[in-house]
Amino acid sequence: MNGMVRTTAILVALGIAAAAQTPVSSPPMNTIAERYVKLVLALGQHDKDYVDAFYGPPEWKTEAERRKQPLADIGAAADRLLAEIAASTRNESAASSGEAGAAPKGDDLVRLRRDYLKRQLEALRARVRMLEGTKLSFDEESKALYDAVAPTHPDSYFEGLIKELDRALPGDGPVVDRYDAFRRRFIVPADRLSRVFDRAIAECRTRSLPHVQLPPAESFTVEYVKNKPWSGYNWYQGSFRSLIQVNTDLPIYIDRAIDLACHEGYPGHHVYNALLEKHLVRDRGWVEFTVYALFSPQSLIAEGTANYGIEVAFPGEERVAFEREVLFPLAGLDPSQAEAYAKVRALVDRLSYAGNEAARKYLNGESTRTQAVDWLQRYAMMPAASAEQRTRFFDTYRSYVINYNLGKDLVKQYVESRAGGQPQKRWQEFVKLLASPRLPSALR
């Protein structure tokens, strides 16, 4: 036993000696994390959508505004930081390459942290290049920024799904028009909107609380806004508070109530941000989580969990039951139509990857805006106005679109491969994922 301890001491000493000879030194991870945050803030000076949330030291933000670091400097600083992370990885593997159990193994979360910082920085590096004029294809971009590539589907794939929808919808004429007409019966009147949303939010919170330990101070505010390229947004403010904005440019259908309440609120973005703040920022002092870089792998996890969270909160038929019994009456809609609407919606949801194809072709320069709008009407069942709003989303957020559907599918696979269909177990795995820095490529 003693012999083993001595071997360990020698190996650790060798590891340290090897590190001293490497050209790049490796500062502690907290120092790397702080420099990462400052680089995200610096890049935010060149890209107004880049910093989605920041609740770290306010003077770091003021400093970034004052300094206005040029893009080339930000890129070079990111390269240096990446080299330092690589050096710290080499040192750690040198230190732990002795007998099993010889060197103290960092906990799983510590390893995830380093992988996460590295990959977030690589995405930052790619975003700098894009802002400097480098043109990436849709798939290259999503790989670089979100650590994932969405599958490609031929037209025939969507045509098959549309045939099913065609059979499910009453009347004659183009499917998209019949879908639009059918759906109009489920618009929430403007004067009932906040009542319906408030009830949906309360329900999602009640369903989440038994499974998620939320900080007692958590809360959020809902605002109704216009003229935005998105339909809803969560602006996390820190201290466990969120501002949720709902865009009322287009009609709001009854299903948006639960979508939005879960996605933006419980157990979606609001819970995700609050758990990261609680477990990683406050409990561990990991400052990198006080900043949220929008065009980064973190977004796939954020959007994927927010979308999958709907199924976690409302397993099986529970969603349609709640809509029928509570939300339809509140909105003044006919509850006897709730099931029929849910069936049609499920068919249309399967067309979500058509949106990726539209974005891919449009952003790769293979289709014009008009063609993208046509495609979205035909294959994604979006009425003209929604399709146009969607192409404006493509202009701003580009390959970000994959984070919603591919993100959801990856999160679903990850959670269900561990939990199966067992609702309680699903919650456990889901919450564990929310509170940890896992990368999209590590979900597979």
What the block records as the tokens of 33 is: 């994390």
User: Nearer to Zn ion by C-beta: 52 or 147?
Assistant: 52
Unique residue bearing structure tokens 């609050």: 274
Nearer to Zn ion, 242 or 367 (CB): 242
Phi/psi at 163 (5° precision): -60, -40
Q: What tokens does 115 get?
A: 């992988």
Task: Decide whether 85 or 222 has the Cβ nearer to Zn ion.
Answer: 222
* Whole-number Å distance between alpha carbons of 104 and 230: 47
Which of 44, 81, 79 is CA-nearest to residue 62? 44
> At closest approach, how far in Å is the CB of 303 from Zn ion?
5
The nearer residue to Zn ion, 84 or 303, going by C-beta atoms, is 303
* Rounded Cα–Cα distance for residues 333 and 336 (Å): 9
Spatial contact of 257 and 327, defined as CB atoms under 8 Å apart: yes
Of 84 and 147, which CB lies nearer to Zn ion in the complex structure?
147
Question: Do the Cβ atoms of 186 and 258 come closer than 8 Å?
Answer: no
Q: How far is the CB of 269 from Zn ion (least distance, A)?
A: 6
Contact 50, 299 (CB under 8 A): no
Closest CA to 82 of 128, 50, 35: 35
Smallest gap from residue 394 Cβ to Zn ion (A): 16
CB of 356 to Zn ion, least distance (A): 16
CB neighbourhood size of 83 (10 A): 15
Question: In terms of CB distance, is 302 or 382 closer to Zn ion?
Answer: 302
SS (H, E, C) 129-188: HHHCCCCCCHHHHHHHHHCCCCCCCCHHHHHHHHHHHHHHCCCCCCHHHHHHHHHHHHEC
Among residues 182 and 235, whose Cβ is nearest to Zn ion? 235
CB of 424 to Zn ion, least distance (A): 26
Residues that bind Zn ion (CB under 5 A): 303, 306
